Amino acid sequence: MTTQIQPSSMHESLLDIAGKKIFVAETGDGPPVLLLHGGGPGASGVSNYSRNIAELAKEYRVIVPDLPGYGRSTKGVDGSDPFGYLADHIRGLLDRLGLDKAHLVGNSYGGACALRLALDTPDRVGRMVLMGPGGIGTTRALPTPGLNSLLGYYTGDGPSRLKLEKFIRTYLVFNAAQVPASVIDSRYRDSIDPEVVANPPLTRPSGPNALRTVWRTDFTRDRRLARLPVPTLVLWGAADKVNRPSGGRMLADRMPNCDLYMVANTGHWVQWERAELFNSLCADFLAGRR
C-alpha cells in the first residue's frame, strides 16, 4: 500500500524568486530532490506527488514547488520561452535554498522544466528522472488528442468540470476508475482561479514568433542533448495519450547517459498510477543503485 503524504507533515514557505513568489513544501533529510509537477489544469506540486513524497522522504530531502503559474505560486508564464522561464525560476529556487546541485524529478511540463534546466546548467543537476516529459518530438508530429484536450481547456467555452473530467479520465490515466471524484473536484477548483483563467500557464504558441517558440520547445532539435552528461532515467507510460511514448526512444537515442523504462498499462501519470514501482525505481536510480 502506498503511503500518502499529509500536508501537515511538510514545512511550507513562499519564497521570492526573481520578483515572483514560489510556493515550496519540504520534508525529509538527505540529498536534495526537487519534484516538478505536470502542467494540466489545476495541477500543483504536493497533489501531483501525493503518492510519492512520503516514500522518497525516507531517504531524501524532498522539495516540492508549485511551478510558476500554478498552485500558490505567482501566476503567469513567459509564453515565448515557457520551458526556459520555468527553468530559470527553479534554478533561482536552488540558489535561494543554498543548493549548488540537486536531483530533479519531472513529470510532463515539469519534465520539460527539468530537462531545460539541465541543458542550460548541467552542473546544477545530480541525476534526473523524467516521466513523459513535454517537448519531445513536438515538431515531428501533430499534437495528440490528449494534448489538444489539455491545451483547449481554457479556450472555446472556457473551463468546466466536465472538460477537466474528460481530460483526466480519458487522456491522463490508463484506468479511469482509479481516479476518485475528489481529485477532479480539487483540481477543478484550482483551475478556475481567476488569475489562472486570465493568464493560463500552458497555451498554444501564438503571434509573430510562434514558429520560433514551437521550434525552441522541441528538445530533439537541441544539439546540446547529445552532450548532456547528467545520468537520466526516463519513465514513460506505454499507454500515454498526452505525450507519445515514442518520445522515450527519441531521448534514449540522443542522450548519452539515458536509461529508458516503458511502463505497461499506464498513461501519462506514471508516478500516480504506478506509485510503488515509481517510488522504488526513482529512489534506487537517484542513489546510484541502478
- Grid cell, residue 133, equals 516529459
Cross-strand bridge partners of residue 104? 34, 128
CB atoms within 10 A of CB 198: 10
Q: Report d(CA 35, CA 106) in Å as an integer.
A: 6
Burial letters 8-28, b for 16+ CB under 10 A, else e: eebeeeeeebeebebbbbbbb
Cross-strand pairs, 24:
13, 65
Distance CA 245, CA 175 (A): 17
Q: What is the DSSP string of 204-215?
A: ---STTHHHHHH
**Selection from 65, 53, 78, 64 nearest residue 21 by Cα:** 65
Q: What are phi and psi of 235, to 5 degrees?
A: -110, 125
Annotated catalytic residue, options 37, 89, 103, 268: 268
How far apart CA 91 and CA 124 sit, in angstroms, is 8
* Catalytic residue flag (residue 268): yes
Q: How far is CA 43 from CA 58, 239, 264, in A?
A: 25, 21, 24
Catalytic residues: 268
